[in-house]
Structure 1
């Protein structure tokens, strides 16, 4: 979005904080997408949000945090716990790592329990996180993007979460909602894809 030149390095996947994404800028390591954006904005004098009202930015931020911190658990419940055997088909996991999927599933379930949401039944978890999608759909309304006619910074992460519902959770209630009742979410994802992912199919083939 900001047209910043970069080079992809896959040697150290997890970086200094043990999480993705992270970058190195002139020898300085920064982890977490939000901290990265804030760092680059300041360092390079970037202001993607300059044409977006404070009200739209506030709504976008709230939706982003909800998707990153709450809807995420519904995604994990569906993909890595209830349908863990199908995960390799979705993510093209190398054969040697497939053996560790049950252990990973158990680890993620424990994280959900520690968070609190994992103490609920799967049905309850899905109900809670389906409500997140409905909220995002309502907040988006008839706008093209959360920034209005042009995307704002938070559109990046919101797109990442909603795109999982649209394309990354086949057979789920999230997919049914985004392709039906909440079709503005699918239209939103198609708009972001058209703007920034002209090489989408090529990226999918190489994943």
Structure 2
């Protein structure tokens, strides 16, 4: 019988040298590397087995838990780790605001690029659904794409024209570049959770070989490119 105290982490498949093509899954993976919590990493072909129907999710102490933010908070308490202990109250507040920008806005510009751009989708569908048999993939692909389109429209970003969505993404990228400035990490000399959040999203745009105005915007911000490389060298070398 498996040990229920062993942390099992389920994430979506990887590509482009990344362990997973999901920024939320990669955020959790990066945070676990940052904190050194021992775990077993498992690639799931779809997110549907998770308790919220999304990835990532974990199994620990005989229970399943979904949503990367909730998982991080739970694991920090469960294992007594806090990579944000050096932050001031004001910095904690800024970190929440930065995470909202990334998770609730910049992320959706990436989703639009991957799923709604026809050329990009033809490449991405075989990555994100690559763990499924081809006949299943052919049936599930259009269904999943329609579902994502509804999510984009429900969020609000999906009602805009592609060039308007690109402009939103460029503003987000430029805001992150301005906040980072000439620092190594978003709050100075020591990495914290927000660095894992930013890395996971930015590298998933930067490394993906897709047509994307937002990707070009990252390339025009040398400090963000250097940040991506710095994080990868520290935690993924």
TM-score range, shorter chain: 0.7 to 0.9
Counterpart of 1:40 in structure 2 is 75
Contact preservation (8 Å) 2:114, 2:210: no
Counterpart of 1:174 in structure 2 is 214
Deviations 1:119-168 (A, max 9, x none): 11111111112211111111111111113212111221211111122212
What does residue range 16-165 of structure 1 map to in structure 2 within 5 Å?
A: 16-82=51-117, 83-88=120-125, 93-94=130-131, 96=134, 98-99=137-138, 100-165=140-205
Contact preservation (8 Å) 2:157, 2:165: yes
Distance verdict in 2 for CA 1:33–1:128, change over 3 Å: same
Counterpart of 2:231 in structure 1 is 192
Counterpart of 1:3 in structure 2 is 36
Structure number with higher helix proportion: 1
TM-score by length of 2: 0.75
CA displacement at 1:174 relative to structure 2: 1.7
Deviations 1:174-201 (A, max 9, x none): 2211112x12111111111011101xxx
Where structure 1 has 5 or more consecutive residues not aligned to the other structure, the ranges are: 199-207
Q: How far apart, CA to CA, are the structure 1 residues paired with 2:167 and 2:193?
A: 28
Distance verdict in 2 for CA 1:91–1:17, change over 3 Å: closer
Quote the RMSD (CA, aligned, Å): 2.2
Where structure 2 has 5 or more consecutive residues not aligned to the other structure, the ranges are: 1-33
Contact preservation (8 Å) 2:129, 2:137: no
CA displacement at 1:91 relative to structure 2: 5.2
The farther-off stretch of 164-173 and 123-132 is 164-173
CA displacement at 1:53 relative to structure 2: 2.9
The farther-off stretch of 89-98 and 160-169 is 89-98
Contact preservation (8 Å) 1:71, 1:129: yes
Which structure is richer in relative contact order (CA contacts within 8 A, separation 6 or more)? 2
